[in-house]
Amino acid sequence: MRVTSRYFASIMDLVGTDGEEITIPQGSTVEGLLEALKGLHEQLKGVEPILIAVNGAYVDPGTMLREGDVVALFPPVSGG
C-alpha cells in the first residue's frame, strides 16, 4: 500500500525534502514505516525523539496504517 510521509523542521532538513510517497507492506504499523524510512534515509538513524502524527493526529508507534494515510514526522514542537 502507499502512504505519504511529510517532514518538518530539523527532520525536513535531514531528509532533504518535505515529503514523499512510500510503498509499504499491507498491515504495516507506524513503527514499521519508521524503520522503512530509516532504511531509505540513513541520516534518520539515531535521531530521537521523533514525534509522529497520522492524518493530523498524534499516534502511538503500534498504530496500523491504511492506504493513503499521511504520516508526519517531526521533532518536539517549539511554537508559542
Q: Can you tell me which of 9, 25, 61, 68 binds other proteins, judged by CB under 8 A?
A: 9
Which grid coordinates belong to 5? 510521509
Contact 80, 14 (CB under 8 A): no
Q: What three-state secondary structure class fits 22?
A: strand
Q: Give the residue, chosen from 2, 4, 13, 25, that forms a contact with other proteins under the rule CB under 8 A.
A: 13
- Residues between 37 and 76 with contacts to other proteins, criterion CB under 8 A: 49, 51, 53, 56-58, 72, 74-76
Q: Are 35 and 24 in contact (CB under 8 A)?
A: no
Which parts of this chain interact with other proteins (CB under 8 A)?
6, 8-10, 12-13, 49, 51, 53, 56-58, 72, 74-80
